[in-house]
Each structure stands twice: as C-alpha cells, then as structure tokens.
Amino acid sequence: MTIDRRRALALFGLGGAGAAGEAMAATPRALFAGRAEFLHGAASGDPLEDRVVLWTRITAEATTAPIAVRWEVSTDPRFKTLVRQGDARATASRDYTVKVDVTGLKPATDYFYRFQYLRSGKPFGKPVGGRTRTLPKGAVKDVVLAVVSCALYPNGYFNAYDAIAKLPRVDAVLHLGDYIYEYGAAPDDYGMASPTAKARVPDPPRELLSLADYRRRHALYKTDPALQAAHARAPWIVVWDDHETADNSWIGGAENHQPATEGDWVKRKTAGIKAYYEWMPIREPAAGTLPEAAWRRFQFGDVATLLMTETRLTARSHQLDYGRDLPVVDGKPDFAAFAAKLKDPDRRMMGQGQEQWLAREVDASMQAGTAWQVLGNQVVMARVVPPDLKAAMGDQAYAALLAKLPAYVAKPVEESRVLAQAGAPGNLDAWDGYPADRSRVYDIFKASQARPIVLAGDSHAFWANELWDDAGTNRVAAEFGVTSVTSPGYADYLPGAPLGEAYVAANKEVKFTDQGAKGFLLLTLEHGRATGELIAVSTILDPRYQTRVLKRFVVAPGDKGGVKALAEG
C-alpha cells in the first residue's frame, strides 16, 4: 500500500493536526447534505508527548459523497476551552472512517475530544467523543497500563473492556492482538457453540476474505458498547496478531488460508491490513515504509520505554508442525531431529531490520536511565512444555476426565502427554517455535543490561513467568501473559483439570498460570518495582459481572540488568 503523504497529511485549525484520508479541500466536490450518525464510537491512540491520533467513523445511507466532519480537542469535558480544532472529510475510499493526528499538545495532560458532522459548514447532529492523554516527559512517579488480547465476538460479552472503561486510572490501553477474528457464523465455527452466539452473530456470517469483509467485521466489533466505552476512556496502543488476517499467519501464508479455494494470500493480507489501519486508532505508516512494519516506541517519561513489536507478517518463518515435521524412526518419534530443525538460526520471528531497531531502542532506553524496558509482544516468550495430566491427576482421575471429553479434545490431550514426556514445547506458534530468534532477543537485553518486562497475548491464559537465558544461569526478564477478553482457554475444554499446578510443576519458567479466567492485566510501573495484577471477570455469558484480582505479582530490577524473582504480593 503506497501512502501519498501530500494527500494524506494536511494542516488543520491552529496548525495542529494531520488527517489520514482527505483534508477539506478549498473547493471540494459536493459534500453529503443529508442525515448521518456516529454508530461506531470514537477512539484515540498512539499517544506521544505532544500528539495523539483521534478516530471515528460516520454512517450515512445511500451516498458515495464525502461527509464533512469537525473535530475539537479541549482541556475540559464541556469544551469551553478548545486547544485544537479542524475539519476533515470522510470518504468511501477509507470506508468513511476519519483519523486525525493532533499535534501541539502538552505532555502528561488529559484531553477531551469530539467529532460532529457538518451541514452547510455548520455542526449538525449529536457529537461523539472521548477522553485521551498524552505521554509524560521527564521525571515520572508511575505509569498505569491496562493490557488486553483476544476478543472472540460470539463467544461472550466484552466485560473486560467494560471493566477497563470503569478504572479510576489508566494512562493507556495496550491491545496485543486478535482484536477481531476472521471466522464465520456456521454452527461449527469458532465460538458459535457459546450460549451467547445467537445474540452475537458475526457479520458478515462467513470467513473474512475481501476488504469489504474485514471492514464489516471491524464495524461489528465497534458497535459493542463495552468496547466503545474502553476506547473512549483512554488512548490505545495496538498491534495485530494473526486473526486480524488469518489464524497462524506467517510471512508467506496462514494455517487458515487455503490458496486453492480462498485465493491469493497477499491480496487477503493486504485487505486485512488496510481495514485495520482504517478502523483502528493507529498512526499511519511513514512514507516509504511497509504497512506491515508496525513496530514503534512509546516513552513514558523516565519510568518506561514501551516497544511494540511485529512478529507475524514481516519476517516470521512458517511454523513447524509435529504432524508434518517430526521424523519417525522405527515407529518412534525422533524428537532430537525435530529439535535440530527447531533451532535452525534461519528460522525467524523478527527480521534483521526489526532486531536492529530493538537493539538500538533498548540501548537508548538504558542510556537515558529509564527504569523499565517493556516489550509489547504478541505471543508467549517463556519456555513451556505441556503438562502430563495423567501424572498430575493419577490414572483413575485422568481416565475419568478423558472419558468425558469429545474425541477432538481427548486426542490432543493424549498427544500432549507425549510432548511432555519428551520435554518438547506444546505451542510452536509461540516463541518456543523460534528458539534461535528468542536467544537473539535475550542477547539484546543482556548486552544493554536492560530491565525488561515482556507482555504477551494470544494464549487465552494468564501467565506470570521468569525468562532465563539458554544456559539457565541468568534471569533476563519477567513476562506477564494476559488472558483473553472472551476467547476460550485450555481450561474451557478440560473443566476440573489441575492445569495451573501441572504447568508450574513441569516448567521452571512458569510461576503461575490460569488457563480459564477471562479478563485483563493491570500493569503499574514505578522506579524500583513493576506490579502486575491479573484481573478476572466473573463471567462472559452475561453483561452483569464482577471483577477480582486473581493474583498480584511484583518484579524488582536486577542488580546488573535482568530482573529478580517474581514475588507474589
């Protein structure tokens, strides 16, 4: 996708903003003059010290004409003191979304913003807006971040988003991917067996392939009141994982993409990315860069450098698969040969360019005296082998559990026991499938004596992990894995199984995991400590819910880089 910056950026109002899409031209072609409304809420994102991206989408039936939109930014919720304002137009070329990059703001400041459409040059109809905040500069006491991942629309209500919207304080919301899912609405599609599915039917009711499909799915998600409330509460910092295009995507395709029946992968990927940039409060790609290269830095004063990574579409090698790639010798699986394939240094999660960027940013953060280096990352980084539930539960209890399971669940549970006994990783789509690249990331951390906190989504489970180097002698980072908003976890298929205890017993790096809870992570960063609160919602089957802190862990920085042991607090 080529970005023409002369068309995509223009000055508005007090010279304080650029718009993705089209600016209000001096003599525009005929503008829409009928009735329109904001059905999809408003959002802000990618905050910096002096700017933030504002987003909305306007809906009007039976028109292809541009729609004039006014935006305003104020320091008070009643908009008595405007600090920035301007006009833009929503066009069909961007699905009538509007994105404004507002500049000239003050650091560490709460702002209120709103959009209203124009008729005959005057604001008309009910406005839509929200609250945002710029990043701090210089000395900072603390930073509070809410972290989320994986929201499967038919599988439940977005109560985690609603809970975030009600937080007394949140400086930014981090979304680590799977904001949407690409599946359809057939009875056997993912999530359609949920009791909530009839009330939350995916639109379109088919798997997403075209640009129109991806746009409609984003539009459906942004009609959800809980999601709208969370977007209106604070700025979001987002990155995609796989389902924004297709399940288990990599640079050359995806597990859930069949070229013979679903067409060209590049065309589908391009459609998913274009819809993402249209519908999300993310800053547009710089001129001359690939839209897939979404890695970027956010500086929270002297407390934290947040580095958002991209591990799906720019460099990731095809995932290995035990069924396809595990050699069998004399009727027995050859795990040693498989491990050699797995450790191939040419297998990549990040490309060389992103690795070099990461090394520069981590080093610059340390040189500046920043307390924490936070990695916004899509998938679990810890070394994790699956638990042997038979060994954990005993023969009789395990047999009783297995007897209750459908075949499509019982088979992988049995297969995971083989992996557990071999000490082989269970999730080859996570960093366990790319150990050489993981080691390169650890080398970056160690070279700068960084104090890293790794954040991970994707797994539909809460994790509190200690990350050790290959020799097992240096604790290089702490990792907090956030569970899903609604997507099913391992425990949803194995009710009553002691999964958390079994994972901890089988894995040195795993200090805690809950494979069934839904919710979000609240991360508070201070000088000398980082606190991760794993916050669970009581249900996703009813919009009425309660929250509770499932666990709280405190991390202290190491004396010479790395971190000290996770402490429950």
What pLDDT, on a 0 to 100 scale, did the predictor assign at position 19?
A: 62
Could you give phi then psi for residue 420, rounded to 5 degrees?
-60, -45
CA 474 to CA 447: how far, in whole Å?
Answer: 13
CA 39 to CA 218: how far, in whole Å?
Answer: 12
Residue 222 CB contacts under 8 Å (≥ 6 apart), including other chains:
40, 41, 57, 228, 231, 279
Largest CA distance in the chain: 80
What pLDDT, on a 0 to 100 scale, did the predictor assign at position 29?
A: 61
| Stated pTM of the model | 0.95
97-102 and 17-20 strand pairing: antiparallel
Query: What is the distance between the terminal CA atoms of the chain, rounded to a whole angstrom?
Result: 48
Phi-psi region of 403 (alpha: psi -120 to 50; beta: other; left: phi over 0): alpha
CA 70 to CA 44: how far, in whole Å?
Answer: 16
What pLDDT, on a 0 to 100 scale, did the predictor assign at position 6?
A: 29
What pLDDT, on a 0 to 100 scale, did the predictor assign at position 2?
A: 33
Four-residue CA torsion sign, 366, 369, 375, 380: positive
Q: Are 378 and 177 in contact (CB under 8 A)?
A: yes
CA 103 to CA 76: how far, in whole Å?
Answer: 18
Secondary structure element (H or E) that encloses residue 279, with its range: helix 265-279
CA 296 to CA 457: how far, in whole Å?
Answer: 18
CA nearest neighbour of 422 among 467, 386, 391: 386
Residue 237 CB contacts under 8 Å (≥ 6 apart), including other chains:
45, 46, 47, 172, 173, 174, 175, 298, 306, 308, 376
CA 469 to CA 383: how far, in whole Å?
Answer: 10
In DSSP terms, 300 is beta-bridged to 304
Encoded tokens for 137 = 């500069």
Instruction: Return the DSSP state at 402.
Output: H
CA nearest neighbour of 225 among 207, 200, 194, 192: 200
CA distances from 24 to 13, 31, 124 (A): 11, 10, 17
3-state secondary structure of 539: coil
Encoded tokens for 152 = 């499967």
CA 559 to CA 4: how far, in whole Å?
Answer: 48
CA 263 to CA 253: how far, in whole Å?
Answer: 11
Helix then strand count (H, E) for the chain reads 15, 27
What pLDDT, on a 0 to 100 scale, did the predictor assign at position 4?
A: 34
CA 520 to CA 548: how far, in whole Å?
Answer: 11
CA 569 to CA 556: how far, in whole Å?
Answer: 12
What pLDDT, on a 0 to 100 scale, did the predictor assign at position 61?
A: 85
569 residues of the chain, pLDDT tens digit each? 333 332 232 222 233 466 665 555 444 467 888 899 999 999 999 999 999 999 999 999 888 999 999 999 999 999 999 999 999 999 999 999 999 999 999 999 999 999 999 998 899 999 999 999 999 999 999 999 999 999 999 999 999 999 999 999 999 999 999 999 999 999 999 999 999 999 999 999 999 999 999 999 999 999 999 999 999 999 999 999 999 999 999 999 999 999 999 999 999 999 999 999 999 999 999 888 899 999 999 999 999 999 999 999 999 999 999 999 999 999 999 999 999 999 999 999 999 999 999 999 999 999 999 999 999 999 999 999 999 999 999 999 999 999 999 999 999 999 999 999 999 999 999 999 999 999 999 999 999 999 999 999 999 999 999 999 999 999 999 999 999 999 999 999 999 999 999 999 999 999 999 999 999 999 999 999 999 999 999 999 999 999 999 999 999 999 999 999 999 98
What pLDDT, on a 0 to 100 scale, did the predictor assign at position 270?
A: 98
CA 188 to CA 202: how far, in whole Å?
Answer: 13
Phi-psi region of 121 (alpha: psi -120 to 50; beta: other; left: phi over 0): left
